[in-house]
Amino acid sequence: MFSYLIRRILYAVPILLGVMVLTFFLFFVVQKPETMARNVLGKRATPQTIAEYLHKRGYDKPRFINREPGQPFYDSIFFTQLQKLATFDLGVSDVTGRDLKTVFKEGAIPSLLLTLPAFFVGFIMAVGLALYLVFVRETRLDAAGALVSIALMSVPPMIYIIFGQAVIALTFNYFPAFGFELSGLTTLKFLLLPVSLIVVMGLGSDVRLYRAIFLEEIGQDYVRTAQAKGVSSTRLLLVHVLKNGMIALITLVVAHLPLLVMGSLLIENFFGIPGLGNLLVSAIQTSDFATVRASVYLGSILYLIGLAATDVCYALVDPRIRLS
């Protein structure tokens, strides 16, 4: 397994390089640093002020390769950025000048407070409902469950947010429609609605998928044997089918775990939760290249970690699989 992991890490290098080239292309070729400088410095900025701003941040260097005589070829924006990201030197925000490590640390807490409970509650609910549908399979309720699941999958996320804010928060007046406070039980008050919305948003597709997995399990020989031995339907589902179906489920969900730290773009933005999703939207709106670049880089690393973790989990929970 060790050699497999080493290989996996080596595979990650070209992928990360690709991500860096792509983000670099987007932020230094499609959208130019001069635009960002103008945004930051305002409409009165003279070409000289803009040039000084870019020079201080090293954005006036050649883009890819330095062809200036006497200059090393790698003294360019691309290689400087590459070196910084490779050494996890995230630098400072282009707009506010704040240290990005601190900014990310501050944002990770609200993001995790939102996404972790949503992930676990969503997982438990989806498994529970999928088992329920398997339990009532081939009945009208099962068909209705499938229909509702498809409906939940088809509704765009924005509609959930509008429903949550306009109906649950505004008409029923249960929860605040907006806001966040990091202080004990008060935090719960702000999180209940957005967490519920994330759960419901993912419920349709998860229930459909998990139901299919459990239905596959229920057709297996060992289930028929257990039934023949007189095991009750409830025990059959909650012990035999659930346990074996979990092998497939765990490998599916582990990939998402590391990415939870990056938060949720839409929900954080609409509910004013100061997490990393909110940070990214704000950085895009203000042309804060450094923050967007660091966000994309961290997101890619976390995604790759998730994929590697999935493989490892597969091997751990299913003795038939060996990583080599």
Among 5, 285, 321, 322, contact with other proteins (rule: CB under 8 A): 285
Binding status of residue 60 toward other proteins by CB under 8 A: no
Structural tokens at position 320:
């038939």
Closer Cβ to other proteins, 112 or 177, answer by number: 177
Q: Which positions from 132 through 151 interact with other proteins, judged by CB under 8 A? A: 132, 135-136, 139, 141
> 């691309």: which residue's tokens?
78
Burial class (CB in 10 A: 0-12, 13-18, 19+), 175: buried
Q: Which residues are bridge partners to 92 per DSSP?
A: 99
Burial class (CB in 10 A: 0-12, 13-18, 19+), 225: exposed
Closer Cβ to other proteins, 56 or 320, answer by number: 56
| Residues whose CB is less than 8 angstroms from the CB of residue 16 and which lie 6 or more positions away in sequence, other chains included | 297, 300, 301, 304
- For residue 90, the SS3 value is coil
| Residues whose CB is less than 8 angstroms from the CB of residue 269 and which lie 6 or more positions away in sequence, other chains included | 277, 278, 281
Among 56, 67, 229, 320, contact with other proteins (rule: CB under 8 A): 56
From 118-126, 199-207, 269-277, 304-312, give the range in contact with other proteins by CB under 8 A: 269-277
What would the x/- binding string for other proteins be over residues 89 to 108, using CB under 8 A? ------xxxx-------xx-
In Å, what is the CA distance from 137 to each residue of 145, 148, 152, 212, 311? Answer: 10, 15, 19, 11, 32
Closer Cβ to other proteins, 21 or 238, answer by number: 238
Binding status of residue 282 toward other proteins by CB under 8 A: yes
Among 168, 246, 258, 163, smallest CA distance to 201 is for 163
Binding status of residue 281 toward other proteins by CB under 8 A: yes
Q: How remote is the C-alpha of 15 from its chain's centroid?
A: 18
Binding status of residue 228 toward other proteins by CB under 8 A: no
Binding status of residue 224 toward other proteins by CB under 8 A: no
Binding status of residue 80 toward other proteins by CB under 8 A: no
Among 269, 291, 295, 300, contact with other proteins (rule: CB under 8 A): 269
Binding status of residue 214 toward other proteins by CB under 8 A: no
Identify whether the C-beta of residue 128 lies closer than 8 Å to the C-beta of residue 206.
no
Closer Cβ to other proteins, 12 or 45, answer by number: 45
Closer Cβ to other proteins, 190 or 210, answer by number: 190
- What is the number of alpha carbons within 13 Å of residue 6 lying toward its C-beta? 4
Among 68, 89, 181, 216, contact with other proteins (rule: CB under 8 A): 181
Binding status of residue 128 toward other proteins by CB under 8 A: no
In Å, what is the CA distance from 146 to each residue of 150, 219, 249? Answer: 6, 19, 19
As a whole number of angstroms, the distance between CA 196 and CA 265 comes to 16
Among 109, 177, 209, 315, contact with other proteins (rule: CB under 8 A): 177
Closer Cβ to other proteins, 136 or 226, answer by number: 136
Residue type, 137: R
For the bound state, the minimum distance from the C-beta of residue 110 to other proteins, rounded and expressed in Å, comes to: 9
Binding status of residue 165 toward other proteins by CB under 8 A: yes
| Interface residue list for other proteins (CB under 8 A) | 30-32, 34-35, 38, 40-49, 52-53, 56, 95-98, 106-107, 132, 135-136, 139, 141, 161-162, 165-166, 169-181, 185, 188-190, 192, 232-234, 269-272, 274, 278-279, 281-282, 285-286
